[in-house]
Amino acid sequence: MPHANQPHSDLNYVSVRLRLVGTRVVEPEKTPQSFEGSRDDEQALLHKRPVYEVPHFCKVHEITTEKSLMSFIGYMILLWTTWLITTIYDVRFTADSVLERCCKAIHLGVMVGFAEIGTAFQPEAQIKSVFQAMSLFLMFSRLALALQYGLVAWQIRKYVVGRRPMLLTAVIHFIAAMVYLGVSFRYSAGKSSRVYTVWYAVGLTEMALHLGFSQLSEVLTFIGTHLGERLNLLSLIVLGEGAIILAKNVTLVVKDTYLKDTNLTIWSPSLIGIVTASAALIYIIFQLYFDWMHEEHSMSVRHQVWWAALHMPFHISLVLLLEGANQFVIWARVLEQVDAAIKKLVSVTDKLPDNPASPEVSEALGDVVKPFITKYQPADVLETWQGLNETLSNISELPNYLWSSNSTYTDDDPNYIHFTNDLLELLYTMVNSIYNAFGIEAESQAEAAEHGEHAAYVQAQATQAIGQRFQLVFIYAFACAGIVLLFLIVMHSISKRKGWTPFNIVRTAVCLALALGLSLTPTISLNEAYVGTFMDSPWMLPTITLCYFVVLILSHVPHPPTFGLGKFKRGTYSEVEKAKGLRESHRLTPIPHDLHERSQSQLDTDFENIQTGYAPGGVHGQEALIHDEFNRRGSSYDNRASYVSAGSVSVGDGFDDVVDYEQMHDGHRSNSPNEWSRRH
């Protein structure tokens, strides 16, 4: 009995019955529309995972030197290219099945592996097991993709047009997997090899080939997919993560100011302005990104590929910009606290009696420094306290004539020089305690502590290294601010393909000038006096925000009614992308009501069958398929089937050519093969 072999759907324990293997290319999805959102949520878990790893990687892999900056960019390239080539498959061919879920589990495991390896991803100080594991994770990711594409290639083996590009894509991923496997054997303990650069080359090559194949093959095209939505979502999540990091930094500022200094009742105006500028910058970038985005169908296939490819440098620059902007918030509060520490140390002289003894001076300095480093604990508490006690002891042993108002010592007096060095050491101790309280640690500080360097050397070197670190933050933050704005302008120009009047060109040129100016601002670091003055001021982040605000205002300035109209005013304007052939007329053809009622997946399947010439039942089945498609268009199209029976339309041609021909000839239809041949 039929019901015995096929139980009622209400008897199913789960909402959807999984197939072992499935694909959207061969047959449409059988899952009800109400359950598609759950599958999208499962895919979103995989595709949001890379963005969640970025804050974790930034926290454990702080950018302190040029080498760490380069390794950060390299890590982001590996993460982004892996995410993209996985997403490209999902938006085109994925279908819910047991095999697809297993492959998604592999991809999710690879992303978890990225998070684990990120804690020790240091190309300049390689750990053999870490870099071998990275190669193996990349290999498993590509093997899973090769399996997925290979399965689709086998399923469409009867499609002449699609099987070769699909098989070639699977082979490319398999070759990449073997390259990653070979790289894993090149690492050795105690040595740092530059073979890791092969990862970047292979990943970028895979991405370029994927984007290139999408232009050459209709089967691999992105048209009709939601790749654009995935990229938009990733951009939105990056901005959201920047806002989360800002909120954490604000919490840190509150924790290490009000809770440790009860005399503070309100933030300084400069700190309020910097926090406001950081939040405003995130919101302005969000507005520019989506305000400058035009509909996908306004772009050609080639421009869609370029638009997608530009998101990689855009996202990497955006992450660095947001990281630098949030560091500016911390840096502003650190400068305020350092200034307060200097004032406290200098004010000791006002509390000393006339002609004090050296032990009294040492005690007065200790009364200021010791409570301070108790509130702001240093990185190495024991080492710092030992160095502090030693410094105070040295001050107490200095001769008393240094404190006498009638003393006549000179600046080159050895005792005076000794006291000056000790005083600077106390200041370094307080400053480094502030740095540690805000989660800032220099590499030289950690390295010197590991090698057992003297505390005085550690404090002085740490202060200098942290100053250099924030100079690096200043450099890459401003450079990335200009790069982000530049890519926003380029992507906007790609998506906006018409309406380029002189006025619109002029304001685009102004935006480009601002982007170039921001990118060149780090050149002032060549002058130590200029960069020191600018970094000590509260205007670093507000400068970036004001430039972006000007761009936002320019974007929304209404177009003048007469000035800068160009060809619009003369009536000779034409779109940049004109309709080619007769396809434009076909876009105006109303779709019959019965087509709206059919599932989109069934329409896609029928369209693929007509275009590729594949249908069960050979040539007769193909002709029947085309006749069925004509019948679905409505009874008004029945008389047009004679084109197929007369031999005027080949098997691979679609129904749209017939519609275009009749629209261009006022409904007149000719059965003459000669007249029909002029259409091609």
Reduced to 3 states, what is the DSSP secondary structure of residue 17? coil
* Final residue belonging to a domain, choices 445, 467, 489: 467
Q: Is residue 337 domain-resident?
A: no
What contacts 24+ positions apart, CB below 8 Å, involve 162-168? 162/25, 162/217, 162/218, 162/219, 162/612, 165/213, 165/216, 165/217, 165/219, 165/220, 166/219, 166/220, 168/213
Q: Is residue 438 domain-resident?
A: yes
Using CA atoms, how far residue 281 sits from 59, 275, 479, in Å, is: 21, 10, 15
Give the Cα separation of 162 and 175 in Å (integer). 20
Q: How many helices (H) and strands (E) does the chain have?
A: 28, 0
Q: Is residue 261 domain-resident?
A: no
Supply the pLDDT for residue 375: 85
Co-location of 179 and 32 in the same domain: yes
Q: Is residue 284 domain-resident?
A: no
* Final residue belonging to a domain, choices 186, 221, 256: 221
- Contacts for 576 with CB less than 8 Å, ≥ 6 apart: 497, 498, 500
**CA end-to-end span of the chain:** 54
Crossing angle for the helix pair 36-60 and 227-255, to the nearest 10 degrees: 40
Q: Is residue 597 domain-resident?
A: yes
Question: Would you give the DSSP letter of residue 559?
Answer: P
* Final residue belonging to a domain, choices 414, 449, 467: 467
Q: Is residue 630 domain-resident?
A: yes
What's the average pLDDT block by block, 10 residues per block, for the chain (680 residues)?
A: 54 66 55 43 51 61 82 91 91 82 89 84 85 93 93 81 85 95 87 88 93 84 82 90 88 72 72 92 94 75 86 94 90 85 82 82 88 84 86 87 75 83 86 82 51 52 76 92 95 85 90 95 86 86 95 90 62 47 42 44 49 45 47 41 34 39 44 43
* Structural domain boundaries, residue 594: 583-677
How many residues are given for the chain? Answer: 680
Tally the domains of the chain.
3
Q: Which parts of 156-223 fold into alpha helices (H)?
A: 163-184, 197-216
Co-location of 180 and 56 in the same domain: yes
Q: Is residue 236 domain-resident?
A: no
Supply the pLDDT for residue 127: 86
Give the Cα separation of 417 and 639 in Å (integer). 105
Supply the pLDDT for residue 186: 87
Q: Are the C-beta atoms of residues 121 and 113 closer than 8 Å to each other?
A: no
Q: Is residue 240 domain-resident?
A: no
Co-location of 57 and 204 in the same domain: yes
Co-location of 463 and 594 in the same domain: no
